[in-house]
Structure 1
Amino acid sequence: MKALEFVSEGVAKVNELSVPEIGDDEVLIASRAVGVCHSDIELLEGRYIIPFSYPIIPGHEWSGEVMRVGSKVTRFKQGDHVVGDCVIGDDHFGFSISGAAAEFFVTKESWLHKIPDNISWNNGALVEPFSVAYYALMRVGNVNASDILVVLGAGPIGLAVTAAAKALGAKTIVVEPVDFRQKAAHELGADFVCGPDEIKAVLAKVSEGRGANVVVEATGRPDVMATALELAGFKGRVAYIGIDVGKSAPAQLGLIQSKELTITGSIGSPGVWEETIRFMSNKNIDLSPLVTARFTVDQALGAVEAAQRPMENIKAHIEFNASL
């Protein structure tokens, strides 16, 4: 089988490997779509939040088809369409243990979730980032059609928030300076899209001066995180999901008290994958505008390169069609 391997720091190759054998409690999956994200690039460059070693097969955003099941597997059968958890105890799938960027790979039964037929392979491979957005909005609480919701940043997570917020009925404003990301925000249901220098005027007009009921910060930039407090209206809810480590910026912290703001922070999507899949299926969420570059396994190095050009791409997918 063919697999994308990170063989050493800064070195990625498409290699020919043996199809793995499975144990009694394991499942053999044929990959169908695998996303390459910024975390994968950090892994390739020798950085990650937990220990790992090369060679490693990346791929933590994926969808696949069950090929074989072990004798003790009871919840899955050949032909099932599935996605899988990224964080598995102390390990991270696709980081500290090899992931899905191969024609075939092995998982435990307990890591898997079925997806229904109306979730495509590419949308299935976006369950992981969408679950982050869904979890953040559930922590905000009661997002509905009475809300004006501002999304700061139209990267993959910000765009997933846009789709989820629209499905929940909120009037959604996306703030993003890059044209092709603005276009994707419109395609995913944003009611208004504007640049950072326009948001205060746009929000004042849309909200009739009240400010936003909900602000979701998805850039991880401290200066933008500070702006979120300014955009929120009285008794607004502010959600931080963009990740920053160690940077700082001036912020009007008194606004938290004077506006009686509720602030939530979230990371990942613990315990909500089944809910996320039901939500995507029931609302017919289509995240295909996020996928701006597609590659075969033979072209997988191109996907790695595309993921390193965020000013040109939102999400690069590797698509597979191998079967046994």
Structure 2
Amino acid sequence: MHVTDSSQVSSAVKTEYVSWAERFFDSDIWASFKRSKLTMVAALLTAIFLIAAILAGVLSPQNPFDPAQLELLNSRLPPLWEAEGQVPFVLGTDEQGRDIFSAILYGLRVSLLVGFLGVAFSAALGITLGLVAGYFGGVIDTIIMRIADVQLTFPAILIALLVDGVVKSILGSGLDAATILSVLVFSIGLSFWVQYARTVRGSVLVEKNKDYIAAAKLIGLPAPVIMLKHILPNVTGPVLVIATINLALAIITEATLSFLGTGMPETMPSLGTLIRIGNNYLFSGEWWIVAFPGFSLAVLVLAINLLGDWLRDALNPKLR
């Protein structure tokens, strides 16, 4: 009897799993993805960058964050295919003897970490404020939206610079790399929450007047439960599109801050820091120090932007 019950449960779980997989692969989104060769290439490139960042410690011949592995005798070596190139420095070295390929892999890890955490923070803040503003309305809605309107008058990079400067002035100088990374995530998150808040607020204004929300209020569900369990799932589509596009913007913002000298330090460089370092040697002939990190950043941001554009079109039924 117990064997039969266990088999039935296992069969039911397997059937449910297969049906979910079948629904996904039969969906319009999957069909749209397969039709777009450019999107498939962008997804492949994004996956390669993510895997390379995760496996940086395995793939790189050197740990560029460890001063004990750096030698000045290997500084400013050209790429391997040039006359003075040396193994294992495939893409050459910088002025500290740091392998450019290894630095790019570790820099990718830092840039993606700041980007993902910044997007997560801005999404959480913007979604929360958008839900509250749209559901309760009144004075709360007016205050939140006026703050959003004021922030929209300033470029995101200016907001990030202002927040970064204020926080660092409060915490003082001599911050370690982990604290600087946290400050960057905080400043980038405060720069992009407005888009989430305005989008979610507009969706909430539509959803809260529907019958299922009235029924939820009638049975006595509290406002937080209604917002999180009933309204929020209906606004995830636009939020997912914004998050994908903002990931590229967050990586660019971090790179800009690092290039301006207010981002990650040279001891834990991101792609933006590597570009800033290489820019000092561009006109002296060591082009590889800035060219390869810059190319990596451009390809990464382009791939994520292409995915965001496709996702926006795929989730919009009017564009199908």
Q: Normalised by the size of structure 1, how large is the TM-score?
A: 0.24
Q: Normalised by the size of structure 2, how large is the TM-score?
A: 0.24
Considering fraction of residues, name the structure with more strand: 1
Larger Rg: 2
Considering fraction of residues, name the structure with more helix: 2
Say which structure, 1 or 2, has more relative contact order (CA 8 Å, 6+ apart). 2
